Chains A and B, each alone.
Chain A
Amino acid sequence: DVVMTQSPLSLPVTLGQPASISCRSSQSLVHSDGNTYLNWFQQRPGQSPRRLIYKVSNRASGVPDKFSGSGSGTDFTLQISRVEAEDVGVYYCMHHTHWPFTFGGGTKVEI
């Protein structure tokens, strides 16, 4: 199974400042069809998860452009350009290139 490793585990942030979360996979997430199936999810306290980014860098519907994803192969990053109070929560990467799918352990973003 592909192991997804996120860092840091906890990310103290300052309002208005940028933030960056890293996600590394134990093997390449490039599918034979040429796509890289790496998603990012946000889970605010007490809420269900919400998909932010799909296929590395595509923002999901309704996701503000302060969120951006990048990376390739085994190394990926989620960036928040200017952190707001509503961004507090846990962020997860997840791949769906190979069965079984796996999530990273999560990064807790706190002010």
Chain B
Amino acid sequence: EVQLVESGGGLVQPGGSLRLSCAVSGFTFSNSWMCWVRQAPGRGLEWVASINEDGSDKYYVDSVKGRFTISRDNAKNSLYLQMNSLRAEDTAVYYCARASRGAPEEYWGRGTLVTVSS
């Protein structure tokens, strides 16, 4: 059974940092692109970042460039999103998903909520 389980969300003050994790099982993680997609409360979906199989290629939406870093540990079947200099507009549920050519495909996690507020 395929499972993607996000963790690391929570309440953080503006300017603060959080590191999200996504633990993967049920498919060959090291052979898969992965990505993060977020959804602000009551809003639509926004693609955030993607990473290729070995972590050598990374892509970001402009609004998070220089603040967020996507990474992976293929030995641990884990995907990460380091989020620095957080802003109120980063408040959202963050989903990890297996990706095809960088875009989310069939397998998604349930998401983890990040709230940026003082």
The reply on A61 being an interface residue by CB < 8 A is yes
Cross-interface CB contact of A39 among B103, B109, B110, B111, cutoff 8 Å: B103
- With A and B bound together, what is the CA distance between A100 and B37 in angstroms? 12
Please, how many residues of chain A have a CB less than 8 angstroms from a CB on the other chain? 25
CB within 8 Å for A51 and B104 given contacts A1-B62, A99-B59, A100-B59: yes
- Once bound together, how far apart are the Cα atoms of A41 and B110, in whole Å? 15
Contacts of A104 in B (CB 8 A): 44
Select A51's contact among B101, B102, B105, beta carbons within 8 Å: B105
Give the complex CA separation of A62 and B60 in angstroms. 30
Q: How far is the CA of A54 from the CA of B106 in the complex (A)?
A: 10
Q: Are B110 and A48 in contact (CB under 8 A)?
A: yes
Total interface residues on B, CB under 8 Å, equals: 22
Chain B residues near A54 (CB-CB < 8 A): 100, 105
**Interface residue ranges of B60-74 to A (CB < 8 Å):** 60-62
Contact of B37 among A1, A49, A61, A105 (CB under 8 A): A49
Q: Is the CB of B44 within 8 A of A92?
A: yes
CB <8 Å contact, B45 and A94: yes
Q: Which 7 A/B pairs are nearest by Cβ-Cβ distance?
A: A96-B103, A48-B108, A101-B47, A106-B44, A103-B45, A100-B61, A99-B59
Q: Would you list 10 pairs from A and B whose C-beta atoms are within 8 A, ordered by A residue?
A: A37-B103, A49-B45, A51-B105, A60-B106, A61-B106, A100-B59, A101-B47, A101-B50, A101-B102, A102-B47
